[in-house]
Amino acid sequence: MDELCNYMDEICAWLERTAGWIDRGDLPVIPWAGWSSGYLHNPPAPHLEFVYIQKGGIPDARVGNAAVNYQQGHVTINNIHFGAYGQGCIPNTRAWCFFLNVDGAPEMAELSREPMVVQMPVRDTTTFEALCDRLTQRSRFPGIQNPQYPSGPPAYEPDTMHHLGSSSRLRLKAVVLDLLSFLLEEAGVGAHARHEMPPAIRLAMNYMDHHYTRADITLPQLARAAHLSPDHFGRLFRNVMGLSPLQHVRRLRVQRSCFLLTHSPLTIAQVAGEVGFRDPLHFSRVFRREMGRSPRQFREQRGGAR
């Protein structure tokens, strides 16, 4: 496998690994699935957590020794093996959290070795929030109408799934897989997705893949690559991809910069130039908006060269 994978590849890999593990086996224990506030206090436990911030955010949090900024409109996937803690209760924050008990799962053994945090923006928030509501409702069964949020020592370790009938297990499992597959689609995973794109969008995407490092890339250039007028191309691209062409170019640049920050000795200013930003300050602003932290913070958390 090519080791030069970008940051979104890591997100997709964890989503695929989790979905495959659940699909192949029995339904794992779900300690909690539901909406909560901006309070984050999870002592160490063998859990994989999905956090979606609908409103507000949880800045300056930590997963183990990794700093994390849970930001609005993003899903964060992290392990709880080393604890996850915020800075008290953050007012006016609404989050949805979903925990999976991964204890004893060989596919998830890596989570016990070091903190893991990946993040991605959610474009279709309406559909995703409906999936969050469905999973929350399906997780409520007689006898566990009010499952406890995993907090306080020792971490909550329920044994609540053994009494569920096969139909309830299948319905709940289906919702979990539906949510994971939605996130995979949002992350842009799968060669088949590009294969199913309109030919004009495939042409533009290929052009972007080869030219996103050019600082002077423009919408008319991308439209010419797609053999469409700029207005028609812009509308088609947004309808298919859920974001504008130039937003997609910025995302490609940020993804590539994540790799360079982790694996290269380049300075942050040099990384900015390598991925198509003329101004390092503009690069830092875009990076923070996409990733929830500065390029320097990202490099330090990922253990990259300094």
**Range of the structural domain that residue 95 is part of:** 7-186
Same domain, 210 and 119: no
pLDDT at 303: 63
pLDDT digits (tens, 9 = 90+) for 98-149: 999 898 888 898 899 999 998 888 888 888 999 999 998 887 765 444 555 6
Same domain, 24 and 163: yes
Same domain, 133 and 238: no
Same domain, 205 and 225: yes
Residue after which a domain boundary falls, among 186, 208, 230: 186
Residue 16: inside a domain, yes or no?
yes
Indicate the number of domains in the chain.
2
Measured in degrees and rounded to the nearest 5, phi and psi for residue 163 equal -90, 0
| Residue whose entry in the numeric block shows the structure tokens 């469409």 | 228
ω into 150 cis (within 30 of 0): no
Same domain, 121 and 246: no
Residue 137: inside a domain, yes or no?
yes
| Residue whose entry in the numeric block shows the structure tokens 């695929």 | 16
Percent of the chain with pLDDT over 90: 37
Same domain, 30 and 71: yes
Highest mean pLDDT: which range of 11-20, 141-150, 224-233, 288-297: 224-233
- Report the Cα 3 to chain-centroid distance in Å: 20
pLDDT at 170: 84
- pLDDT category of residue 8 using cuts at 50, 70 and 90: low
Residue after which a domain boundary falls, among 186, 212, 233: 186
Determine how many CB atoms are found less than 10 A away from the CB of residue 39.
Answer: 15
Residue 84: inside a domain, yes or no?
yes
- The overall longest dimension of the chain from CA atoms, in Å, is 61
Measured in degrees and rounded to the nearest 5, phi and psi for residue 266 equal -60, 145
Residue after which a domain boundary falls, among 167, 186, 205: 186
Same domain, 29 and 102: yes
pLDDT at 237: 92
Residue 14: inside a domain, yes or no?
yes
pLDDT digits (tens, 9 = 90+) for 167-180: 778 888 999 999 99
Q: CA 245 → CA 222, 231, 280, distances in Å?
A: 8, 11, 22
Q: What is the CATH number of the domain that holds 77?
A: 2.60.120
pLDDT digits (tens, 9 = 90+) for 229-261: 999 999 999 888 878 999 989 988 887 888 788
Residue 80 has pLDDT above 50, yes or no: yes
pLDDT at 1: 30
Which of 177, 137, 127 is closest to 35 using CA atoms? 137
109 three-class SS: helix
Same domain, 148 and 253: no
- pLDDT category of residue 153 using cuts at 50, 70 and 90: very low
pLDDT digits (tens, 9 = 90+) for 59-73: 889 999 988 989 888
pLDDT digits (tens, 9 = 90+) for 186-226: 887 444 444 467 889 889 988 988 888 899 999 999 999 99
Residue ranges in the chain assigned as alpha helix (H): 7-24, 125-138, 166-186, 191-195, 199-211, 219-226, 230-241, 245-263, 268-274, 280-291, 295-302
Residues in CB range of 23: below 8 A, 6 or more apart: 177
| 71 in Cβ contact with 38 (< 8 Å) | no
Both tokens assigned to 23? 């699909």
94 three-class SS: strand
Region of residue 201 (phi > 0: left; psi between -120 and 50: alpha; otherwise: beta): alpha
| 29 in Cβ contact with 101 (< 8 Å) | yes
Residue 113: inside a domain, yes or no?
yes
Same domain, 146 and 197: no
Distance between CA atoms of residues 141 and 277, nearest Å: 52
| Residue whose entry in the numeric block shows the structure tokens 């080869």 | 210
Same domain, 171 and 251: no
Same domain, 161 and 30: yes
Distance between CA atoms of residues 10 and 298, nearest Å: 15
DSSP 40-75: EEE-S-SEEEEEEEEESEEEEEEETTEEEEEEBTEE
Residue 68: inside a domain, yes or no?
yes
pTM above 0.75, yes or no: no
Residue 1: inside a domain, yes or no?
no
- pLDDT category of residue 154 using cuts at 50, 70 and 90: very low
Same domain, 284 and 153: no
- pLDDT category of residue 151 using cuts at 50, 70 and 90: low
Residue 2: inside a domain, yes or no?
no
